Amino acid sequence: MTHKLIHTKDYLLVVDDSEIKEGDWCFLGETSLFNAKIGRVNKNVISDNGKNGLNFKKIIAHLPLNDSPILEGVDLLPTLEDEVEELAQSAFTHPDFGKYKIGSTAYYNGYKDGHNKAKEKYKYTNEDMLTIRNNLVTLLPTGDVTAWDMIQAISKYTKWFDNYVESLSQPELPTAFECEIQYFYMSSEYYYGTEAGWVKCDESQYESIRKEIPTCPLKKAHKETITPEGHTQWIGKYIY
């Protein structure tokens, strides 16, 4: 299951249209009337949702950025460093590893450093340069203008240019998160050593039950782990 990520200055977010209850963390995208914001909603906000340009989405998972606080009660996404660690571990245990005639620590750390460097966006493309040029043409005044008009236009363009170049210089952020999925069927009695209730199965068993026993309740769920701090964290990989 793949979820699109919303980028804010302080968070990567996964949102959905599930029911919003009082105290839930929600995201309000930027509109003509409101700036984008994240917050816990109260009864008044819930009743107003869908009116006056409000369109809150429930936050179901997140990753704090820039040392931002965790949104308590909301599932976490893995840290971006964890992803690199996992990739390095995968390469480290690959059968081809034995052909490298270097120390294991050097190989492991070098893999991580190289991957992080590859994600940086310090080289500007032709498309980036066209954006810079086109925006200059758009922002500069035309016709009979005063010196003050020109000063304001240059100031506005300079601010945009600095922000744009800074954005190009930041490490690339993922666009989506692909979750690992767990499969379950409902057992109504003690069966094959398993108590009645939701029983975990693999995908092939899930599909087999779905076809052969259409009335059997089935469900899919995100695969999760618990962090040392006690937070629920999704398991999966980022997509760039």
Q: Which residue has the higher pLDDT, 2 or 89?
A: 2
How crowded is the C-beta side of 171, counted as CA atoms within 13 Å?
11
Token pair belonging to 165: 């170049």
Percent of the chain with pLDDT over 70: 68
Residue 72 pLDDT: 93
Q: Which residues contact 206 (CB under 8 A, 6 or more apart)?
A: 183, 184, 185, 218, 220
Q: Which of 134-138, 147-151, 236-240 has the highest mean pLDDT?
A: 236-240
Distances, alpha carbon 79 to alpha carbons 1, 153, 215, 236, in Å: 19, 41, 40, 11
Q: Which residue has the higher pLDDT, 116 or 203?
A: 203
Q: Which residue has the higher pLDDT, 63 or 92?
A: 63
Whether the per-residue pLDDT at 220 is higher than 60: the answer is yes
Task: Average the pLDDT over 111-136 and give the result.
Answer: 62
Task: Average the pLDDT over 206-221 and give the result.
Answer: 92
Output 12-16 pairs: Cβ under 8 A, ≥24 positions apart.
12/62, 12/63, 12/65, 12/77, 12/173, 12/174, 13/38, 13/59, 13/61, 13/62, 14/59, 14/60, 14/61, 14/62, 14/77, 14/177, 15/57, 15/58, 15/59, 15/60, 16/57, 16/58, 16/60
Q: pLDDT grade, residue 219 (50/70/90)?
A: very high
Average pLDDT, the chain: 78
In our burial notation (b when 16+ CB lie closer than 10 A, e otherwise), range 224-238 reads eeeeeeeeebbebeb
Residue 198 pLDDT: 87
End-to-end CA distance of the chain: 15
Q: Residue ranges of the alpha helices (H) in the chain?
A: 43-48, 80-92, 104-118, 126-139, 147-168, 203-212
- The answer to whether the CB of 44 falls within 8 A of the CB of 56 is no
Task: Average the pLDDT over 165-189 and give the result.
Answer: 81
Residue 44 pLDDT: 77
- Reference 224, options 75, 24, 83; nearest CA is 75
Place of tokens 């081809």: 96
Residue 218 pLDDT: 93
Burial (Cβ within 10 Å: 0-12, 13-18, ≥19) of residue 65: middle
Task: Average the pLDDT over 141-166 and give the result.
Answer: 78
d(C-alpha 199, C-alpha 186), whole Å? 6
CB atoms within 10 A of CB 87: 14
